[in-house]
Amino acid sequence: MRELLRFQPLYQERVWGGRALESALGRRLPAHSAIGESWELVDRPEAQSVVEQGPLAGQSLRAVLAKHSADIMGPGWPAGAPFPILVKWLDCRERLSLQVHPPAALAAELHGEPKTENWYIAHSAPAAELIVGLRRGVTQAQFERAITDHSLEQCVHHFPVAAGDSILVHSGQVHAIDAGSLILEIQQNSDTTYRVYDWGRVGLDGLPRQLHVAQSLRSIDWTDFEPSPLRAAPTSGVIADCGEFRIRRLVLGAGERVHLRAGEQPRILSVVSGAVRAASENSPGTRAPQGSRLGRGENVLLPYAGAFTLAAESTTILLLTENFSAAPTP
- The 10s digit of each residue's pLDDT in 178-212 is 999 999 999 999 999 999 999 988 888 888 899 99
Interatomic CA distance for residues 43 and 122, integer angstroms = 24
* Domains recognised in the chain with CATH numbers: 5-219 (2.60.120.10), 237-322 (2.60.120.10)
Residue 79: per-residue pLDDT: 78
Residue 218: per-residue pLDDT: 97
Active-site annotation, residues: 195
Residue 204: per-residue pLDDT: 85
User: 288 falls in which pLDDT band (50, 70, 90)?
Assistant: very low
Residue 282: per-residue pLDDT: 63
Share of the chain above pLDDT 70, in %: 96
User: 285 falls in which pLDDT band (50, 70, 90)?
Assistant: very low
Contact 48, 71 (CB under 8 A): no
Residue 326: per-residue pLDDT: 81
pTM for the model:
0.94
